[in-house]
Amino acid sequence: MKKGHHPNPAFENLRVPARAKIPQTHLYRVTASPILCRVPPTKYLAAYQIKTRLHKLYNTFDEYRRRATLMPDAIGPELWESDLRVVAYMDNSKKKLASDYAALPQGTLISIIMTTRDRAAIVADAIVSVLVQSYENWELIVVDDASDNPQTEAAVRQFGDSRIKYVPLAVATGIGGARNVGLEHASGPVIGYLDDDTQWDPDFLLILLNQLHSQDARIAYGAHVMWDKFDPDARLGVAFKGVRFAPFNRPLLENRDNIAPITVLHDRELLSDAGWFDSSLKQQVGWDFILRMTEVAQPLAVPCLLSHSFQGHSEGKAGADEDATTALRSVQSKLVGRADWSQPFTTIDGQDHLAFSIARPARALRQPKLGRLPVEPVQIVIPNYESVPELEMCLRSIAEHTPTPYHVLVVDNGSSEEAYAQLEKLPKRFENVRLINEDQNSGFSFAVNRGLAEVMNCNEKILILNNDTLATPDWLDELRYVLFKHADVGMAVPRQVLPADNRITKVHMPGAVKALECDINLSIHHNNILDLEFDREDGLVELTYAPLFCGLLRPETIRAAGGLDSGNAPHYRSDWILCDFIRRHLQQRIIYTPHSKVYHLQGVATEIRKSTGEDFLGRGKAQIAEAGPQARR
């Protein structure tokens, strides 16, 4: 029997769509394929299972989803029984949805864009995965990005299906430009993307389209199986690399590329709001595209295994060997360009950083909601010890980005006379700032309680804020919105963004790219995600715990708690106690919003500051502290 022609045992149950025109010479691509024959994935992934570990990372699908939110590549390359169980959950869901949607009308035309260049040997497998789609109302636009070999055209045209359009380019434009040409030729109101070294599950279009319709979404994506190269006999990858999937986490998406265009289906009208592919980029073209798409539409994550990629499938794929970090930062620079505000700063290790706001299109969509907020003052309590430049920067950012009325109370916790003399100048530089002094350094919890005693009876919302923070536009109003919308929320918290190359980033967010800034308030170290779908409309997440680097509380909440428990706890324990009290005794929620962004620059250790006498920001001489306590907080 020829290589790749072994019939799959599931062939007898294979459902070939009525309109599928698969030449006899290519039929084996279906009949020998576990993917296209809908073989349960646990069967062909079983070979990668290793001995069951004593401690499982997750048992239920909900537990997996919480972990995958912070680590999208949680499954693979070695598989435990719990991993295969999750794969089975996904396959079971896929079968259920495919059954539910099988009899529905197929009136919506889906335009599929595929780009290729000198890949005649492999493009047929991708095309066949489209031909066997259970949803048959599609058109496939294959854009040939100036292949040198004429065999590419023959490989596409051999299928003789009128739904397949071949569009040759005379000059290579790169994947972004080629996809844009495909979009110009597209007729359908819904768009999908397929690479020439990838394959879709037969129910990809059926499931994602009907999920878009049933959930009133504009963009949806599924789980993605990653393979190393392609075995033409097994019709699978040579080696399994992993399953990539995560509930949507916008802050993590700004740090790393975890949603590939081949996993996505979206409304064509979304292109008018987000723009087309950026042809100036050589790498990470899809990441930039998905970032812009999800700035204007909340995507729907569909936990079904619907796409497979075979990296290194064949020689000849166009692409620059650009340094990976440089490529990532080129996309981030585009993200910064869509921000309304940015501010450079330099740390003592010589690294330059750039703080920036949430993207302009995303902020614009939020303004009608924030416009409904009542005018109400907020009391801001900031504990401080031996910090002047950090605190001044913090106060400046508050003044710049806080249109709602506020009063700041700085509680200095026994700083030196020299430092306090500088602190006394700050209330003269900033409006609504008051300074009180403790005679000795009694710790974070005591300082916060001293401030709370001053403001707790004002019957106004109270924000506890670290002195080494940098606020960005809408930071406070987005926190206020959470409490305004949900009466049972006791505390709202923002993104806690660490600058790039922080050594504890991966402690909290193992899936992050360390070379870029990262939000760590959703933390695998704290294991603090409780309900990912608390508020799907606004993307709000319920937590079990959040550190008090920045937290907005109702006055009745903090009064009932009696402030922080300074007797039982050092600073890194008192916030745990408060969060437990809010949830367990008051039956209130702790809610994270990705729409409020606050940088945590992690104050320099006192010993370093005193010995060097160097500033933290602005002059390029400061250092982010060795952050042992932060890993606990």
99 token code pair = 């059954």
How far apart CA 518 and CA 495 sit, in angstroms, is 9
How far apart CA 180 and CA 585 sit, in angstroms, is 56
204 within domain boundaries:
yes
How far apart CA 330 and CA 281 sit, in angstroms, is 8
1 within domain boundaries:
no
Show Cβ contacts of residue 607 under 8 Å, excluding neighbours closer than 6 positions: none
pLDDT at 492: 99
Q: Where in the sequence is the domain holding 577, given as residue range(s)?
A: 342-632
Give residue for tokens 């969060």: 579
pLDDT at 579: 98
pLDDT at 61: 96
Domain check: are 172 and 296 in the same one? yes
Distance of CA 416 to the CA centre of its chain: 43
Helix (H, G, I), strand (E, B) or coil at 613: coil
Q: Which of 333, 350, 366 is the last residue of a domain?
A: 333
Work out how many domains the chain is built from and give that number.
2
Domain check: are 364 and 507 in the same one? yes
Are β-strands 378-384 and 219-228 bridged in parallel, bridged antiparallel, or unpaired?
unpaired
Read off the pLDDT band of 1 (50, 70, 90).
Answer: very low
Read off the pLDDT band of 346 (50, 70, 90).
Answer: confident
Domain check: are 153 and 57 in the same one? yes
pLDDT at 53: 64
- The answer, yes or no, to whether residue 622 has pLDDT greater than 50, is no
Mean predicted confidence (pLDDT) in 311-337: 70
Q: Which of 333, 360, 378 is the last residue of a domain?
A: 333
Read off the pLDDT band of 438 (50, 70, 90).
Answer: confident
Q: Which of 62-71, 386-395, 582-591 has the lowest mean pLDDT?
A: 386-395
pLDDT tens digit sequence for 361-375: 999 999 999 999 999
Domain check: are 219 and 115 in the same one? yes
Domain check: are 414 and 470 in the same one? yes
Mean predicted confidence (pLDDT) in 511-535: 96
Mean predicted confidence (pLDDT) in 325-346: 91
2 within domain boundaries:
no
Strand runs labelled E in 431-520: 433-438, 461-465, 469-471, 489-498, 518-519
Provide the sign of the torsion angle of the four alpha carbons 194, 199, 200, 202, taken in this order: positive
pLDDT at 178: 98
Q: What is the CB neighbour count within 10 angstroms for residue 154? A: 11
Q: What is the CB neighbour count within 10 angstroms for residue 612? A: 13
591 token code pair = 């809610």
- The answer, yes or no, to whether residue 300 has pLDDT greater than 90, is yes
Mean predicted confidence (pLDDT) in 300-318: 78
- The answer, yes or no, to whether residue 463 has pLDDT greater than 50, is yes
pLDDT at 295: 98
Read off the pLDDT band of 6 (50, 70, 90).
Answer: low
Domain check: are 285 and 353 in the same one? no
Domain check: are 466 and 325 in the same one? no
Q: What is the CB neighbour count within 10 angstroms for residue 403? A: 12
Among 125, 130, 151, residue whose Cα is nearest residue 140: 130
How far apart CA 500 and CA 514 sit, in angstroms, is 6
- The answer, yes or no, to whether residue 486 has pLDDT greater than 90, is yes
Is the separation of the CB atoms in 252 and 263 below 8 Å? no
Strand runs labelled E in 544-626: 550-553, 589-600
Show Cβ contacts of residue 269 under 8 Å, excluding neighbours closer than 6 positions: 189, 218
pLDDT at 626: 33
Taking all residues of the chain, what is their mean pLDDT, rounded to a whole number? 90
Read off the pLDDT band of 528 (50, 70, 90).
Answer: very high
pLDDT tens digit sequence for 264-290: 999 999 999 999 999 999 999 999 999
pLDDT tens digit sequence for 155-181: 999 999 999 999 999 999 999 999 999
Q: Which of 306, 333, 360 is the last residue of a domain?
A: 333
370 token code pair = 């924030």
Are β-strands 239-244 and 219-228 bridged in parallel, bridged antiparallel, or unpaired?
antiparallel
Percent of the residues in the chain that have a pLDDT greater than 90, as a whole number: 80
Q: Is the peptide bond before 77 cis (omega within 30 degrees of 0)?
A: yes
Q: Which of 138-142, 154-158, 439-443, 568-572 has the lowest mean pLDDT?
A: 568-572
Mean predicted confidence (pLDDT) in 319-335: 77
Report which secondary-structure segment, H or E, holds 337: helix 324-337
Report which secondary-structure segment, H or E, holds 533: strand 529-535
Q: Tell which wins on pLDDT, 621 or 166.
A: 166
Q: What is the CB neighbour count within 10 angstroms for residue 364? A: 12
65 within domain boundaries:
yes
pLDDT at 13: 56
Alpha-carbon distance values, 496 to 221, 459, 550, 571 (Å): 26, 27, 8, 18
How far apart CA 393 and CA 389 sit, in angstroms, is 6
For residues 561-598, b (16+ Cβ closer than 10 Å) or e, as one string?
Answer: bebbbbeebebbbbbbbbbebbbeeeebbbbbbbbbbb
- The answer, yes or no, to whether residue 604 has pLDDT greater than 80, is no
4 within domain boundaries:
no
Percent of the residues in the chain that have a pLDDT greater than 70, as a whole number: 89
Mean predicted confidence (pLDDT) in 286-297: 98
Domain check: are 155 and 113 in the same one? yes
Read off the pLDDT band of 610 (50, 70, 90).
Answer: very low
Is the separation of the CB atoms in 317 and 117 below 8 Å? yes
pTM: 0.91
How far apart CA 66 and CA 532 sit, in angstroms, is 7
Show Cβ contacts of residue 362 under 8 Å, excluding neighbours closer than 6 positions: 295, 296, 595
Are β-strands 190-195 and 110-116 bridged in parallel, bridged antiparallel, or unpaired?
parallel
Domain check: are 315 and 388 in the same one? no
173 within domain boundaries:
yes
Is the separation of the CB atoms in 282 and 320 below 8 Å? yes
What CATH number corresponds to the domain at position 525?
3.90.550.10
Give residue for tokens 């959950």: 89
pLDDT tens digit sequence for 91-122: 999 999 999 999 999 999 999 999 999 999 99
pLDDT tens digit sequence for 391-414: 999 999 999 999 999 999 999 998
- From the number of C-beta atoms within 10 Å of its C-beta (0-12, 13-18, 19+), residue 5 rates as middle
Domain check: are 281 and 351 in the same one? no
Strand runs labelled E in 164-256: 164-168, 190-195, 198-200, 219-228, 239-244
How far apart CA 493 and CA 471 sit, in angstroms, is 13
Helix (H, G, I), strand (E, B) or coil at 265: strand
pLDDT at 12: 52
20 within domain boundaries:
yes
Domain check: are 318 and 399 in the same one? no
Domain check: are 274 and 325 in the same one? yes
Among 306, 274, 252, residue whose Cα is nearest residue 509: 252
Rg for the chain (alpha carbons), in Å?
Answer: 27
H-type alpha helices, 488-551: 505-508
- The answer, yes or no, to whether residue 527 has pLDDT greater than 50, is yes
How many H-runs (helices) and E-runs (strands) does the chain carry? 23, 22
Read off the pLDDT band of 433 (50, 70, 90).
Answer: very high
3 within domain boundaries:
no
pLDDT at 612: 36
pLDDT at 348: 63
